Amino acid sequence: MMEKESRLRHMVLTGLFAALICLTTAFILHIPVGNGYIHLGDSFIYLAACVLPMPYGIIAAALGGSMADLLSGYAIYALPTAIIKSMLACCFYGMGVQKTQTLLSRRSVIASVLCVPITVIGYYLTAVILYGNPVAQIAETVPANLVQAGCSAALFCIAAFALDRVKLPMLRR
């Protein structure tokens, strides 16, 4: 019975995180730039990967990010976003954040920093595939994605610190 309850809890949290990722990506501090937009939704991807076991965090990241693209009028990016956001969550799992007792740890900070080049390179390659001209895409995608990924990493660290301090039972592993 406990295994069923645990699986249900993970599925519910996956849906909640997918919704949070979608909302913070598509509607909260959504700033259109160049080929895409700056947002802080990635910080919730990082939180999902810290709280949920694999593959639930990956599913929340892929669904939330791609749904935000569909809602924001960037449907052409939905599939690449699902792949890139899944890679962000995988970075956290690869760093072993599930082994730590807190959301904010050396492992999670390193993972959030490693997610910056994943985001920048992933969306740069996507833009080159979609629009061509690799040189022009450097100026078109790299600066905005650096800002977005860096701000998401910083917001994650602030949120993880705050959530560790309040010790919410739903975020206990």
Task: Give 3's pLDDT tier (boundaries 50, 70, 90).
Answer: confident
How far, in Å, CA of 151 to CA of 11, rounded? 28
- In this predicted structure, the answer to whether residue 162 has a pLDDT above a threshold of 80 is yes
How far, in Å, CA of 109 to CA of 90, rounded? 14
Who's near 134: CB < 8 A, 6+ residues apart?
A: 128
Query: pTM (2 decimals)?
Result: 0.92
Amino acid at position 117, single letter: P
Who's near 161: CB < 8 A, 6+ residues apart?
A: 103, 104
Residue with tokens 């309850």: 5
How far, in Å, CA of 134 to CA of 11, rounded? 40
- At 89-122, the pLDDT tens digits run 999 999 988 888 899 999 999 999 999 999 999 9
Task: Give 53's pLDDT tier (boundaries 50, 70, 90).
Answer: very high
